Amino acid sequence: MAKFRGAVVIDTEYCKGCELCVEACPQEVLGMSPKVNSKGYHYSEMVAEENCIGCMACGYVCPDACISVYKTLNND
């Protein structure tokens, strides 16, 4: 079991749907939402949230600074 658990919060209004975070995620946590934001972009979202380890790769590569990352010890 992973030592850390993580989660991300995506500011969907700022997301432009470039999918770089989806490619950067080593755990395949992120995917694109079928919904769109007010600018018409499909935004990214967690599709496998139980796999997130809080590595911050998505946050670092995001060009629009719309990803916040949370990380904690895995208590399960």
Partner 1 sequence: MNTSDIIRPENKVYGKTKLLTENRMHYCPGCSHGVVHKLIAEVIEEMGLQEKTVAIAPVGCAVFAYNYIDVDWQEAAHGRAPALASAVKRLLPERNVFTYQGDGDLAAIGTAETIHACNRGENIAIFFINNAIYGMTGGQMAPTTLEGMKTATCPAGRNVELNGYPLKISDMLALLDGTCYVTRQSVEKLAAVVKTKKAIRKAFENSAAKKGTSVVEIVSTCNTGWGLSPHKSNLWMKENMFAKYPLGDLKNV
User: Nearest approach, Cβ of 14 to partner 1 (angstroms)?
Assistant: 6
| 15, β-bridge pairs | none
Contacts to partner 1 from residues 6-65, by CB under 8 A? 6-7, 9, 11, 14, 16-20, 23-24, 41, 46, 49, 54-57, 59-65
Count CB-CB contacts under 10 A for residue 73.
7
Q: How far is CA 27 from CA 3, 23, 47, 60, 63, in A?
A: 14, 10, 11, 15, 20
Residues that bind partner 1 (CB under 8 A): 5-7, 9, 11, 14, 16-20, 23-24, 41, 46, 49, 54-57, 59-72, 74-76
